[in-house]
Amino acid sequence: MTLAFNGKLLLSILLGISTQVTLAQTSAAWPSKPLKLIVPYAAGGPADLVARELALVMTADLKQTVTVENLGGGMGVPALGVVVRAEPDGHTLLLAAFGNMVLQPMLSKKGGADLVAKLKPVSTISTGPHVLVVSAKLPVKSIPELIDYARANPGKVSFASAGTGGTAHLGMEMFKALSKTDVIHVPYKGSAAAVNDLISGEVSAMFSSLPSLQGLADKGLVKVLAATAASKSNATKSLPLIGTALPGFDYTTWYAMYAPQATPKPVVDAINAALSKALKAPALVAKIEAAGTELQAGTPEEVMAWTQRDTEKWARVIRDAKIAVE
């Protein structure tokens, strides 16, 4: 019995050592070929900017080419599918927004929740507030003035968005509920037409990332009233907070990195370490924060915490506003 027990013990030890060696070799081998960052948005937007600048730094750090592939449309479902089906070796990664990972599974019937479950969080990437912008033709200069104006003119203040169920729409629903105002949602098929009507005064207001509207604000075509959350970025830290005038109003947008679910932990750890280094590169920080976004490296557990927090927050908004997307 003693010999048998010792034999099993020895076998167990050898298997354990073998597994540790294999995992160490797997981690050490990453990256062994060029990497792809899949972005579920068209080129030119905030996610694309972060991805491309990050890819340049990682290419230099890792001595492997990191390319960005844009797969927009479908609320991110096609892009998620590409990464889910990729080889789980850490060479195909997803840079996704919270809208893809939190909002889309709650709003869409296109199988997004199943795909999200097949992805493994790797690291937080960035976070940042939206801003509330109004047409220059609207006679308000602050959030309290906007609330007073909306209450005095029920049904006449309209909020544009790039589509039903997006962050701009949900931000408007949160504003409507907390301010107890009768404001109208006007969905567009993309942001370009929405911004044009904001300039003309056809619609009154819009939630958006700051960079896409900063140029218009500088020309006096729109007015930036406040930010949706506090920020350390020079572009947004001086803005008033909507929550100051409207207690309980607070949200940020964020991006995180994901890999296929079967990716070994040592590889995930290696990717996380590479991202942690890259996201601290001074030139990268300066360029991204100038656009109103804060780079923030973090653990897979932090990604899951952000996801849980925002799932609870937006589930209430979606439920109370009875929002559904086909």
pTM tops 0.75, yes or no: yes
CA angle, corner 304, sides to 92 and 176, nearest 5? 110
SS (H, E, C) 69-95: EECCCHHHHHHHHHHHCCCCCCCEEEE
- Asked, colleague to colleague, whether 27-129+252-321 and 131-245 share their fold, the answer is yes
**CB of 276 closer than 8 Å to CB of 258:** no
In the chain the beta strands, taken as DSSP E runs, fall at: 35-39, 66-70, 92-97, 119-129, 131-135, 158-161, 184-187, 205-208, 222-227, 252-260, 294-295
What is each CA distance from 188 to 137, 160, 166, 194, 196, in whole angstroms?
A: 20, 7, 11, 6, 11
Write the pLDDT tens digit of every residue in 147-192. Answer: 999 999 999 999 999 889 999 999 999 999 999 999 999 999 888 8
- Beta-carbon contacts of 11 under 8 Å, excluding residues fewer than 6 positions away, are none
- Beta-carbon contacts of 142 under 8 Å, excluding residues fewer than 6 positions away, are 225, 226, 240, 245
Range with top average pLDDT, 10-14, 139-143, 192-196: 139-143
Query: When comparing pLDDT for 278 and 108, which is higher?
Result: 278
Query: When comparing pLDDT for 112 and 78, which is higher?
Result: 78
Distance (Å, whole) CA 230 – CA 306: 16
Looking at residue 316, what is its pLDDT?
A: 94
**CB of 41 closer than 8 Å to CB of 69:** no
Looking at residue 272, what is its pLDDT?
A: 98
pLDDT at 28 over 80: no
**How large a percentage of the chain has pLDDT more than 90?**
75
Looking at residue 24, what is its pLDDT?
A: 46
pLDDT at 135 over 80: yes
CATH topology of domain 131-245: D-Maltodextrin-Binding Protein; domain 2 (3.40.190)
Nearest to 280 by CA among 46, 57, 97: 57
Looking at residue 19, what is its pLDDT?
A: 43
Looking at residue 21, what is its pLDDT?
A: 43
CA 97 to mean position of chain CA atoms: 2
Nearest to 170 by CA among 145, 218, 206: 206
Looking at residue 10, what is its pLDDT?
A: 52
Looking at residue 5, what is its pLDDT?
A: 47
pLDDT confidence tier of residue 279, bands split at 50, 70 and 90: very high
pLDDT at 106 over 70: yes
Nearest to 183 by CA among 162, 161, 199: 161
Nearest to 289 by CA among 210, 224, 226, 213: 210
Nearest to 173 by CA among 18, 11, 318: 318
Residue 78 phi/psi, 5-degree rounding, is -60, -40
Write the pLDDT tens digit of every residue in 51-103. Answer: 999 999 999 999 999 999 999 888 889 999 999 999 999 999 999 999 999 99
Looking at residue 11, what is its pLDDT?
A: 53
Q: First and final CA of the chain: distance in angstroms?
A: 65
The HSE-up count of residue 64 (CA atoms within 13 Å, CB side) is 16
- Class of CATH domain 27-129+252-321: alpha beta
Looking at residue 2, what is its pLDDT?
A: 47
Q: Give strand pairing partners of 256.
A: 96, 124
**How large a percentage of the chain has pLDDT more than 70?**
91
Residue 134 phi/psi, 5-degree rounding, is -120, 160
Whether omega before 240 lies within 30 degrees of 0, making that bond cis, reads no
pLDDT at 281 over 50: yes
Least confident of 25-34, 43-52, 166-175, 191-200: 25-34
Domain residue ranges in the chain: 27-129+252-321, 131-245
Nearest to 116 by CA among 256, 306, 261, 254: 261
**CB of 71 closer than 8 Å to CB of 12:** no
pLDDT confidence tier of residue 326, bands split at 50, 70 and 90: low
Write the pLDDT tens digit of every residue in 195-251. Answer: 999 999 999 999 998 888 989 999 999 999 999 999 988 888 899 999 999 999 999
Looking at residue 292, what is its pLDDT?
A: 82
